[in-house]
């Protein structure tokens, strides 16, 4: 029985909860149906969908596009509406709400409210029929769609994130931007733009964001930020950051910079806090008076401007400068003078405030209205004008405000308007006017373009660039000194460990792995650094090539125009100037990379020396490891050198094309002149001979040039060009240690005491041990196969032209032995072993590809550069490798090695591609690709 009672109780409980659920659901459904029907009736959605949806859809699409980054900028003015919460006075006044925010883009002004009889405010029911109340204003029930509607629950930070944040990135990308708050007095413009200490506004968040982005900028960029802050009060411009002058500033139109305020103070804040202090200071200087609607009403239009200058050095072609400006504007209240000054007039009357003051206040209101009316006129004209027709007249000159906002409104500026409104019916007219204004502004089309110019640096800017570079260098030097100190400390620790403390133990392999890991990291770093360095060198070579071409152009110009090229007339757009600047930039970059490479090499060298001190010089495994790593480096360097050669060749080929065109034109002109003169019988014998010689050359007849005739312009020109193929870093490869193949057994020494002190053992893992063992096994097997002999090759260099002239069948000129049989310059064929003597003893031959750059720094263009650089050498191309050895030796040594053979099989044969882009196997000099010059 008990169990039956219990189950009945449970059933009853279940039924009760089911009932409760059902009734709450029904209630909920009834409520939502009621709400639905109410809002459906109120909004007459069918019509609304027809009218509003296309605009809404397009606005949404644009939002999505901007978010996804597919559209960088919108060419339409963005309009946002912010509805502030009711103030205490408005709430206690009990006036009806004039705004209903429907969703994030739609609001209804003066909505129709239905009462219980389902009639609107202006209707009444009589005998079951609806009648309009005569004398009652019908509800406007106007629907407005904007880019975003912010209801009264939105905070300033949210407004910033959804309206202005994207402009910060645009500013950094070189676009002008403007955000202005428009609305009736007391509607929340100042609250939105400036905010307060506890609730900062859009300007605060913008500046903070901007500084954050500036801090994150990359190394190749230089950003300069400056600000100014002014107000337009009574049609007069005052500097808010320099109020002591008390001067009214003139507004002037500049053909280059647009509309500018004369003598406006410009400040460069140190950091975000400094900037905010300035902003606060400016705000304190702003003109404010109490009005009916706002106890702290701003009676002026305040314009806060941030200018950003961005210099980008990342391109090898040219330096780009972007100058962009962001204006954040808090307009004065847009209201009727009668509304704002009602109580002030009363005060004037009661307290006998001097007549002149009351006049001043009236004039203030009049001027605010004048400028806002002018703004309205501009908005109307812009919204109705066709952006494609440039001639439509916009009355910007109607007021100072519109003149200053000219760029922001219809020009090259991304602009957003934040229209602020009060939801209270007390401000019915002002709110309606604001919404109509804002709605019109939506139609304004903007004309956006990036404010970027590509220029070279002016000499006067060298100082600032030098300063920043010097700062970087001193930072790096400090870091270097610190690292050196740390190294010294570590070394002293190492030295305390007895060298004979090496005893075999189980830990040895894993510890060796730890060392290997550190070395792996260092070698990886070396690969990256060398690549960067070679890229830098490659850029410098390309610049040298362009400078050389430019030199030829200038020479041609001199020959053609019979006048000297005026170097003093070089402008910033002259390619020569731009090339110098790039050279300066890359030279500095190279110096800092040189230091890093040197540091990395010395670290590797130190570990290598320490290891060898403890394991002996002939430890095959360790030697082998270093050889492999060096080989990897060389392989990568080789690939880069090849890429560089191709790029240089491309530049030369494009020059060749241009020369070809020029030649054809010249030949035509010569022929014409020759026939004219000949026809007239005025051809002199000298001219006739010159023409015949030219004809021979055109026909391709070859003339003889002695190969050691270094005074020959053909040889010297060729050398100049050839030297650009070689990269200094590539030609000074690190030394690969020799593998001792005579040792059959691989011994692993215990280095426990030393490494226990210095490296954390946790880093070693069984996997690493396994790797090390497998590496050892594979190397062992390759040792058995190989029979390495080290070939000793002279480290001395031959001159570049020797080899090239002997082998290049495409040359226009033949190079024949030593014309004068000079003892200092013997033929390499007859005396190969002394070729080095010739190279180093003959002063004419000292200009090898590697020191070519350094030598050329003594005169000509480089002299100019040195002057600009304060006499500093542009780049010290001396080899920084701690191991001085020759590449050829390396090749010979590894030619027989099995793993090197695999490279050969993959098409990197030292005889084929190695000879093409790297070095010849026969001598130590670089071998260059053959091209017709």
Q: Helix 620-679 crosses helix 575-615 at what angle (to 10 degrees)? A: 160
With CA atoms as reference, report the closest residue to 457 among 584, 318, 572.
572
Q: Helix 575-615 crosses helix 462-495 at what angle (to 10 degrees)? A: 0
Q: Residue numbers of the site for ligand ATP (CB under 6 A)?
A: 84-85, 87, 183, 185-191, 291, 294, 296-298, 332-333, 420
165 Cα distance to chain centroid? 18
**Minimum CB distance to ligand ATP smaller for 360 or for 761:** 360
Task: Tell whether residue 870 is among the known ligand binding residues.
Answer: no
**Minimum CB distance to ligand ATP smaller for 153 or for 905:** 153
Is residue 414 classed as helix, strand or coil in its secondary structure?
strand
Only one residue has tokens 């040195």, namely: 866
Q: How far is the CB of 420 from ligand ATP (least distance, A)?
A: 6
Task: Tell whether residue 183 is among the known ligand binding residues.
Answer: yes
Q: How far is the CB of 285 from ligand ATP (least distance, A)?
A: 15
CB 917 within 8 A of CB 642: yes
Q: How far is the CB of 418 from ligand ATP (least distance, A)?
A: 11
**Minimum CB distance to ligand ATP smaller for 74 or for 192:** 192
Q: How far is the CB of 247 from ligand ATP (least distance, A)?
A: 24
**Minimum CB distance to ligand ATP smaller for 418 or for 739:** 418
CB 333 within 8 A of CB 294: yes
Q: How far is the CB of 422 from ligand ATP (least distance, A)?
A: 8
**Minimum CB distance to ligand ATP smaller for 269 or for 333:** 333
Q: How far is the CB of 65 from ligand ATP (least distance, A)?
A: 29
Q: How far is the CB of 184 from ligand ATP (least distance, A)?
A: 7
Task: Tell whether residue 914 is among the known ligand binding residues.
Answer: no
CB 910 within 8 A of CB 904: yes
The pair of structure tokens assigned to 30 is 């009834």
**Minimum CB distance to ligand ATP smaller for 294 or for 581:** 294
With CA atoms as reference, report the closest residue to 82 among 351, 423, 324.
423
Q: How far is the CB of 74 from ligand ATP (least distance, A)?
A: 25
**Minimum CB distance to ligand ATP smaller for 291 or for 587:** 291
Task: Tell whether residue 188 is among the known ligand binding residues.
Answer: yes
Task: Tell whether residue 825 is among the known ligand binding residues.
Answer: no
CA distance 816 to 796: 23
**Minimum CB distance to ligand ATP smaller for 420 or for 741:** 420
Longest dimension (CA), the chain: 145
With CA atoms as reference, report the closest residue to 392 among 375, 410, 373.
410
CA distance 34 to 871: 86
Task: Tell whether residue 857 is among the known ligand binding residues.
Answer: no
CA distance 683 to 691: 10
CA distance 71 to 720: 47
Q: How far is the CB of 487 from ligand ATP (least distance, A)?
A: 60
**Minimum CB distance to ligand ATP smaller for 155 or for 495:** 155
502 Cα distance to chain centroid? 53
**Minimum CB distance to ligand ATP smaller for 100 or for 709:** 100
Q: How far is the CB of 187 from ligand ATP (least distance, A)?
A: 5
The residues, ordered by sequence, that sit 6+ positions from 60 with a Cβ below 8 Å of its Cβ are 105
Report phi then psi at 212, rounded to 5: -60, -45
| Cα four-point dihedral sign 878, 881, 883, 887 | negative
User: How do the residues of the chain divide into helix, strand and coil, expressed in percent and rounded to 5?
Assistant: 55, 10, 30
What is the phi-psi region of residue 565: left when phi exceeds 0, alpha when psi lies from -120 to 50, beta otherwise?
Answer: beta
CA distance 442 to 687: 74
CB 86 within 8 A of CB 423: yes
Task: Tell whether residue 187 is among the known ligand binding residues.
Answer: yes
Binding-site members for ATP are: 183-190
Binding-site members are: 183-190
């Amino acid at each position: 029985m008990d169990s039956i009672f219990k189950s009945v109780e449970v059933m009853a409980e279940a039924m009760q909860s089911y009932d409760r659920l059902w009734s709450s659901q029904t209630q909920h459904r009834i409520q939502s149906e009621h709400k639905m029907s109410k809002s459906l009736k109120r909004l007459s959605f069918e019509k609304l969908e027809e009218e509003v949806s296309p605009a809404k859809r397009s606005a949404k699409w644009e939002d999505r596009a901007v978010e996804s980054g597919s559209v960088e900028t919108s060419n339409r003015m963005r309009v946002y509406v912010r509805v502030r919460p009711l103030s205490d006075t408005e709430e206690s006044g009990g006036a009806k709400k004039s705004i209903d925010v429907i969703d994030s883009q739609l609001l209804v002004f003066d909505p129709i409210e239905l009462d219980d009889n389902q009639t609107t405010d202006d209707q009444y029911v009589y005998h079951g029929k609806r009648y309009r109340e005569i004398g009652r204003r019908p509800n406007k029930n106007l629907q407005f769609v904007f880019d975003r509607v912010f209801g009264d629950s939105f905070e300033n930070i949210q407004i910033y994130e959804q309206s202005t944040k994207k402009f910060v990135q645009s500013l950094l990308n070189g676009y002008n931007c403007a955000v202005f708050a428009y609305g009736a007095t007391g509607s929340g413009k100042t609250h939105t733009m400036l905010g307060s200490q506890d609730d900062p506004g859009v300007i605060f968040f913008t500046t903070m964001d901007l500084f954050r982005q500036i801090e994150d900028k990359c190394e190749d960029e230089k950003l300069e930020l400056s600000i100014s802050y002014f107000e337009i009060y009574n049609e007069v411009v005052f500097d808010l950051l320099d109020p002591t002058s008390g001067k009214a500033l003139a507004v002037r139109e500049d053909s280059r910079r647009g509309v500018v305020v004369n003598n406006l103070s410009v400040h460069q804040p140190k950091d975000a806090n400094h900037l905010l202090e300035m902003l606060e200071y400016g705000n304190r200087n702003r003109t404010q008076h109490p009005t009916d609607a706002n106890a702290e009403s701003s009676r002026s239009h305040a314009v806060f401007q941030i200018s950003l200058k961005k210099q980008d050095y990342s391109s090898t072609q040219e330096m780009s400068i972007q100058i962009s400006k962001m204006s954040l504007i808090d307009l004065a209240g847009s209201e009727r003078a009668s509304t704002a000054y009602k109580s002030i007039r009363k005060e004037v009357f009661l307290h006998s405030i001097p007549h002149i003051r009351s006049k001043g206040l009236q004039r203030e209101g009049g001027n605010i209205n004048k400028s806002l009316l002018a703004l309205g006129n501009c908005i109307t004209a812009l919204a109705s004008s066709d952006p494609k027709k440039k001639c439509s007249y916009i009355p910007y000159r109607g007021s100072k405000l519109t003149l200053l906002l000219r760029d922001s409104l219809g020009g090259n500026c991304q602009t957003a308007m934040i229209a602020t409104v009060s939801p209270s019916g007390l401000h019915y007219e002002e709110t309606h006017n604001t919404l109509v204004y804002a709605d019109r502004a939506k139609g304004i089309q903007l004309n956006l373009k990036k404010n970027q110019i590509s220029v070279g640096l002016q000499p006067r800017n060298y100082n600032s660039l030098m300063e920043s570079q010097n700062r970087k260098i001193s930072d790096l030097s400090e870091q270097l000194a610190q690292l050196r100190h740390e190294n010294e400390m570590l070394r002293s620790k190492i030295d305390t460990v007895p060298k004979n403390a090496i005893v075999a133990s189980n830990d040895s392999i894993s510890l060796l792995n730890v060392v290997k890991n550190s070395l792996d990291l260092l070698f990886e770093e070396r690969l990256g650094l060398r690549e960067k360095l070679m890229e830098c060198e490659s850029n410098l070579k390309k610049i040298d090539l362009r400078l050389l071409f430019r030199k030829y152009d200038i020479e041609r110009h001199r020959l053609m125009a019979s006048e000297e090229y005026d170097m003093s007339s070089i402008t910033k757009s002259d390619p020569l100037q731009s090339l110098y600047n790039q050279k300066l930039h890359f030279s500095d970059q190279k110096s800092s990379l040189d230091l890093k490479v040197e540091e990395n090499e010395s670290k590797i060298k130190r570990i290598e020396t320490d290891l060898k001190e403890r394991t002996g010089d002939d430890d095959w495994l360790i030697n082998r490891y270093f050889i492999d790593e060096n080989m990897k480096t060389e392989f990568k360097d080789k690939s880069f050198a090849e890429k560089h050669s191709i790029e240089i060749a491309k530049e030369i080929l494009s020059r060749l094309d241009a020369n070809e065109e020029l030649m054809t034109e010249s030949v035509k002109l010569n022929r014409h002149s020759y026939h004219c003169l000949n026809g007239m019988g005025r051809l002199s014998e000298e001219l006739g001979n010159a023409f015949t010689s030219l004809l021979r050359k055109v026909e391709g007849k070859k003339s003889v040039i002695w190969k050691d005739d270094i005074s020959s312009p053909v040889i010297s020109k060729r050398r100049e060009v050839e030297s650009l193929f070689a990269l200094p870093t590539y030609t000074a490869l690190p030394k690969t240690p020799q593998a001792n193949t005579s040792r059959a057994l691989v011994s692993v020494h215990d280095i426990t005491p030393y490494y226990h002190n210095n490296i954390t053992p946790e880093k070693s893992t069984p996997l690493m041990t396994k790797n090390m063992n497998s590496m050892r096994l594979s190397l062992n097997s390759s040792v058995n196969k190989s029979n390495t002999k080290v070939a000793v090759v002279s480290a001395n260099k031959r001159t570049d032209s020797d080899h090239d002239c002997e082998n290049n069948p495409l040359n226009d000129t033949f190079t024949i032995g030593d014309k004068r049989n000079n003892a200092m310059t013997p033929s390499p064929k007859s005396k190969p072993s002394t070729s080095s003597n010739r190279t180093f003893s003959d002063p004419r031959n000292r200009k090898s590809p590697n020191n070519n750059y350094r030598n050329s720094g003594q005169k000509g263009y480089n002299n100019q550069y040195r002057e600009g650089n304060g006499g500093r050498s542009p780049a010290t191309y001396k080899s920084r490798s701690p191991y001085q050895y020759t590449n050829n030796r390396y090749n010979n040594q590894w030619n027989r090695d099995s793993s090197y053979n695999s490279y050969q099989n993959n098409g990197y044969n030292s005889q084929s591609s190695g000879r093409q882009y790297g070095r010849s196997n026969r001598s130590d000099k670089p071998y260059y690709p053959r091209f017709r010059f």
